[in-house]
């Protein structure tokens, strides 16, 4: 079934297909929470004292996709587009409403790159990052957890921004 551009995860599938189905569902939920708002709304922090915004989450999740699913599984250089050693939290700040569409496209491109990077790999495929070994299964599970947490934040932000609620 499809609802708000999201496809339900498969009810009967192998492990990786199930995990990736849940990850795609979480990605779709996040995009749904951002739809229909102005760039100014997407960059507005409404839950003081937190500075959390939907635009900041778009940028943060872009870096998560690149850092967890692209860099460990490809040989291609994968720099973070926002953060650096000097400013590791930059994805959350210095938001420019005029650049939201560009940031959203960068997010969508990072998801596409992630899907390509891990396509066909088994769950027990191991990647090494900074000397630590991770299975693809662990990374995908971590990404589901990351999206689920931020989708909860997105629910609260969206309700405060325009009253919209939903799963």
User: What is the pLDDT, as a whole number, of residue 112?
Assistant: 98
Nearest to 56 by CA among 72, 68, 78, 41: 41
114 DSSP assignment: H
Tens of pLDDT, residues 54-109: 999 999 999 999 999 999 999 888 889 998 888 888 999 989 999 999 999 999 99
User: What is the pLDDT, as a whole number, of residue 8?
Assistant: 87
Q: Decide if pLDDT at 2 tops 70.
A: no
Angle, to 10 degrees, between the axis of helix 136-162 and the axis of helix 54-64?
A: 170
Grouping H, G, I as helix, E, B as strand and the rest as coil, residue 87 is coil
User: What is the pLDDT, as a whole number, of residue 20?
Assistant: 97
Residues 6 or more apart whose CB falls under 8 angstroms from that of 118 comprise 69, 73, 125, 136, 140
Which domains are delineated in the chain? Answer: 2-162 (1.20.120.450)
């Amino acid at each position: 079934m499809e609802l708000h551009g999201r496809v339900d995860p498969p009810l009967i599938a192998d492990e990786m297909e199930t995990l990736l189905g849940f990850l795609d569902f979480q990605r779709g939920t996040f995009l749904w929470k951002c739809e229909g708002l102005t760039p100014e709304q997407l960059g507005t922090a409404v839950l003081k004292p937190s500075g959390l915004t939907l635009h900041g989450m778009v940028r943060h999740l872009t870096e998560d996709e690149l850092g967890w699913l692209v860099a460990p599984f490809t040989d291609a250089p994968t720099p973070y587009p926002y953060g650096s050693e000097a400013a590791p939290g930059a994805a959350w700040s210095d938001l420019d409403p005029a650049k939201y569409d560009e940031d959203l496209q960068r997010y969508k491109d990072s998801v596409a790159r992630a899907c390509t990077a891990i396509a066909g790999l088994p769950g027990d495929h191991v990647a090494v990052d900074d000397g630590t070994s991770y299975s693809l299964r662990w990374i995908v599970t971590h990404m589901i957890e990351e999206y689920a947490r931020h989708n909860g934040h997105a629910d609260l932000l969206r309700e405060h921004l325009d009253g919209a609620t939903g799963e």
